[in-house]
Amino acid sequence: MAALAASRRRCRLPLYDFLAPRPARIWVRTAASASAQSEPASLPLTEEQRHFLDSALRVNQAGELAAVLIYQAQTPPVIRSHPHLRPLMQHMHDQEAGHFRLFNDLLAKHRVRPTVMYPVWRLAATALGWGTALMGREAAMACTEAVETEIGTHYNDQVRELLAWLRAMEARGERIGPELADLVATLRRIRDEELEHLDHALGNDSKHARPHELLTSVIRGGCRAAIRISERI
């Protein structure tokens, strides 16, 4: 809990003005229609786009919360038996903590509400991390593998959707705000870091976990369900 409070420390972040709460797309009608534009227009987001981004950020924050807590809970049992894994666990935890801070700031700035299931996910993530760590290093790595696979896929889908928006905006001749482009770049970076965690987990014998298929499929199913729930509420 103290670690989480510390993680709420401010950090300098690029600012995503495009996400500013605003109503549905507005426009001005002019009598002289469609005269030549000196520069491409920059329009606010539509209601659907804004709704998508709200739920995307909400899910991302919940996901990073779960990741941080899983690593926090996994670290003591794993390090007790394998002290050489301390730097790796620390590195992964710090990266996740950075992501968590980023999404916290985004949510606060754009007044997006967090998911109602926040305390439930806290408990579940702590229990999952602790449980898999008690089952052994391989099981802990298998848990990491499953979670990172799902999260990586999830971020990939978001990036794909945003890139589709950017393409549509370019096709319409609209100017893409720097903030939106920034967000896409940030999500790509985070996705790559999550996939890097996946590689670490695979490199640490996650496939050797005894009930590997069962464990990973259960965890992946749970992650998918949690993502779907967090998107809505």
Instruction: Return the SS3 of 121.
Output: helix
Tokens of 160: 């794909």
Under the binding rule (CB under 8 A), the answer on residue 113 touching another protein is yes
Closest listed residue to residue 68, CA positions, set 146, 127, 135, 125 = 125
- Name the segment binding another protein (CB under 8 A); options: 29-37, 86-94, 184-192, 217-225: 29-37
If one asks whether residue 28 binds another protein (CB under 8 A), the answer comes out as: yes
Q: In 10 A of CB 80, how many CB atoms?
A: 9
Stretch that binds another protein, among 6-14, 138-146, 189-197, 211-219 (CB under 8 A): 6-14
For residues 170 to 209, the per-residue mask of contacts with another protein, x marking binding by CB under 8 A and - elsewhere, is -xxxx-----------------------------------
Take residue 164 and report the two structure tokens written for it. 């589709």
Site residue total, another protein (CB under 8 A): 56
Name the residue nearer to another protein (CB basis): 116 or 214.
Answer: 116
Question: What is the phi/psi pair of residue 42, to 5°?
Answer: -125, 115
C-alpha to C-alpha distance for 230 and 154, rounded to whole angstroms:
13
Q: Residue 174, Cα to own-chain centre: how many angstroms?
A: 27
Among 20, 79, 124, 176, binds another protein (CB under 8 A): 20
Nearest CA-CA partner of 4 in 55, 61, 45 = 61
- From residue 40 to residue 69, the character string flagging contacts with another protein as x (rule: CB under 8 A) and all else as - is xxxxx-xx-------------x--------
Residue 13 corresponds to which tokens in the numbers above? Answer: 């972040």
In the bound state with another protein, the residue whose beta carbon lies nearer, of 161 and 174, is: 174
Number of residues in the chain: 233
Taking the complex as a whole, the smallest distance from the CB of residue 217 to another protein amounts, in Å, to 26
CB of 228 to another protein, least distance (A): 20
5 class by beta-carbon count within 10 Å (0-12 exposed, 13-18 middle, 19+ buried): exposed
Chain centre to alpha carbon of residue 34? 40
Binding residues (CB under 8 A) for another protein: these are: 1, 4-5, 8-10, 15-17, 20-35, 37, 40-44, 46-47, 61, 76-77, 80, 104-105, 107-109, 111-114, 116, 118-119, 122, 130, 134, 171-174
Annotated binding site: 64, 96, 99, 148, 194, 197
